[in-house]
Amino acid sequence: MSKNLKGKHFLTCEDWSKDELDVVFNRAFELKDNFYKEEPHLYLPHKTLFMIFFEQSTRTRNSMEAGMTQLGGHAHDLTSDKMQLSHGESAKDTAIILSRMGHGIASRNCFYGIGAEYLNEMAKHSQKPVMSLQDDIYHPFQGLADLMTVFEHFDKNPKGLKVTISWAYADTHSKPLSVPQTQILLFPRYGIDVTVANPKEFPLSQSIIDKAQKNAEIGGGSLKFTNDMDEAFEGANIVIPKNWGGFGYYDVQDYLQNEDQCKKEMKVNLEKYHDWICDDRRIKLADENVKLMHALPADRGHEVTDEIIDNENISIVFDEAENRLHTAKAIMSLTM
Ligand code: CP
């Protein structure tokens, strides 16, 4: 199986079968063990990964770059302003050239209506695997780390686990839809029962919801929606309070043609929902052994209170962040 994954793009978990994902998780657990025992695991000696970030990153950038070093290779940390991309060089030409100089390309491009298309265009023309470091639709590396963390804290067969993904207030920036969308697509494939809570002006994309419902039917999980954060927290085993922008409220083309107007509306809508926070009162609605997950960065005091995110009996956010390293290394070692 490992041999078959060499050269495979990683743009979304949707393109990977459960058998293939199981290979990834097995490799990630093996690599985590190697990391703790300080055993060498040089799967990629002298290999080069080109990473192109159009946006900021702490976890993704460092899990990939540290991961490449630990696997025996090297990652170039590139930003679009350092490259001829800033003068309009195409995704196609960039992908052809980088794939002839190295062994993998990874990029983060979260511009709504643009990011995933950009990555697909690179993948079409690259001779080497292309990996999404997050786009406007998917964040596949985050999904893997999330599920690995669920396996560690609950069960490798998490069927029947109740996971609540709730929109939460944040005033930092309009975060992409890609984290919750990846989670609703992936978790029900493993039999997890997912509840999504969001104000009506902050829906996820309908096409993703439709795909996720199909995944739930096949995987034995379930997916339901509510506009009531309290209701979603009741009895949950895991809660994930996370802000996302109101992009899903608009048709993509309408959004791109009226971006300034849509952003203004999103800001007005956002201010209606300051009370969408994960706090002590809401945590008490959940299961008594509830765990808090969050992709981070968290908007402390808005998405979740310090009291909850710093509570070591509840919060597993730093395990989740660390697992970004082990899952990133698993994908790179199997595909590059
Ligand atoms: N969760 C995540 O992708 O974090 P960064 O934006 O810091 O990479």
CATH number at residue 311: 3.40.50.1370
DSSP, res 10? B
For the question of whether the overall pTM of this predicted structure is more than 0.85, the answer is yes
Question: Exposed (0-12), middle (13-18) or buried (19+): which is 272, by Cβ within 10 Å?
Answer: exposed
The verdict on 134 and 149 lying in the same domain is no
The verdict on 96 and 179 lying in the same domain is no
The verdict on 204 and 331 lying in the same domain is no
What pLDDT, on a 0 to 100 scale, did the predictor assign at position 79? 93
Q: Are 243 and 229 in contact (CB under 8 A)?
A: no
295 lines ligand 1 (CB under 6 A): yes
Domain that includes residue 291, residue range: 142-321
Half-sphere exposure of 233 (CA within 13 A, CB side): 23
What pLDDT, on a 0 to 100 scale, did the predictor assign at position 172? 77
The verdict on 274 and 294 lying in the same domain is yes
The verdict on 212 and 330 lying in the same domain is no
Ligand 1 atom closest to Cα of 295?
A: 1
CA–CA separation, 328 vs 323, rounded Å?
8
165 lines ligand 1 (CB under 6 A): no
The verdict on 191 and 241 lying in the same domain is yes
What pLDDT, on a 0 to 100 scale, did the predictor assign at position 3? 55
What pLDDT, on a 0 to 100 scale, did the predictor assign at position 1? 47
Residues of the chain with pLDDT under 50: 1-2
Residue to mutate, 134, 135, 240, 243, ligand 1, most ligand atoms under 8 Å from C-beta = 134
What pLDDT, on a 0 to 100 scale, did the predictor assign at position 171? 87
The verdict on 95 and 183 lying in the same domain is no
The verdict on 126 and 157 lying in the same domain is no
The verdict on 82 and 51 lying in the same domain is yes
Q: How many structural domains comprise the chain? A: 2
